[in-house]
Structures are given as structure tokens and as C-alpha cells.
Amino acid sequence: MRVRLKFAKIDDLPPDALGTLHEVPRLKAMGFDGRFAPIGTEFTVYGIDFAEGNVLYRVGNPPREEYAIQCLAALFEIVDERVSRYWHSRMLRGGRFVLWPPSWFADHYHDRLSDGDPVISADFAEVRQRLGAEES
């Protein structure tokens, strides 16, 4: 699945899209906006989170995509709607439903990835390669 950044920040969303979001002040405080990349930048979606009534994409942090960041899906448009065959579904604690590669369910995967854990970093590189290859 590929998406293109369409809006720079939550405040740029049209009123109908803004009206579908839940807990907008919390989302803004968490930084779910497009300041990390220019409008029009395309991303491979590595995972999807459905949390508290909102849809969040897991995309690579530009420019080197060393780890995955959560971004509010409403800020993007879908340019390739094919979902990954590598995603597995699971209901996490707190009622969050996710579609992730199976390795991401390891304890503290995303924290360890952000911290540069070499084993997790190697796994994420493999995930990026595998999901990127699906787009061809």
C-alpha cells in the first residue's frame, strides 16, 4: 500500500474530514501532522493502527526510514490500495486493532527500533524490503 502526503497538518484538513477525527486536541499534541515531509511525498505503508476512532499509518521516518512513525491517515491520499500480504491482524491491549508484519508484535518492537537495537533494525530493513517489493 502506498500513500501520498496531501495535507501538512490537521488544521489543513477540510471540515468534513476534520469532523471524522476523534480527540483532535490530543492528536495535535501528539504531533500527527505532515511537518516531517513535503506535500506530495509518497510512502509505503508498513502497518495500520485503528486507535480511539482514528486510523494511523506506520510509515518510514524520512529520509532514510530507519524506523516507523505513526501518521494520521487523514493527511494522506491512497495511491496504491493493495494491502500487504505480510500484514497480520491483532487486537492489542487498550482496544487498538492493528495490521502489522508479524515481527512487530515482539515486546517493545517500536521502542527498540527507535533505540537502534541491531536485531530489530535488521528486521525492519527486511520488512521495508519485503513490503517495498510488493509494490512492483
Hey, is 90 helix, strand or coil? strand
Cβ count within 10 A of residue 61: 15
| Residue position matching grid coordinates 504531533 | 31
Boundaries of every domain in the chain = 2-134
pLDDT tens column, 98-134: 999 999 999 999 999 999 999 999 999 999 999 999 9
pLDDT tens column, 14-39: 999 999 999 998 888 887 766 778 99
**Which H or E run includes 107?**
none
pTM surpassing 0.85? yes
| Residue position matching grid coordinates 493493495 | 82
Of 26 and 50, the one with more pLDDT: 50
The secondary structure of 20-85 as a DSSP string is: T-SSHHHHHHHT-SSTTS-TT-EEEEEEEEEETTEEEEEEEPTTTT-SEEEEEGGGEEEEE-PPPT
* Rounded distance between C-alpha atoms, residue 95 and residue 102, angstroms: 18
* Rounded distance between C-alpha atoms, residue 49 and residue 92, angstroms: 10
Q: Are 90 and 18 in contact (CB under 8 A)?
A: no
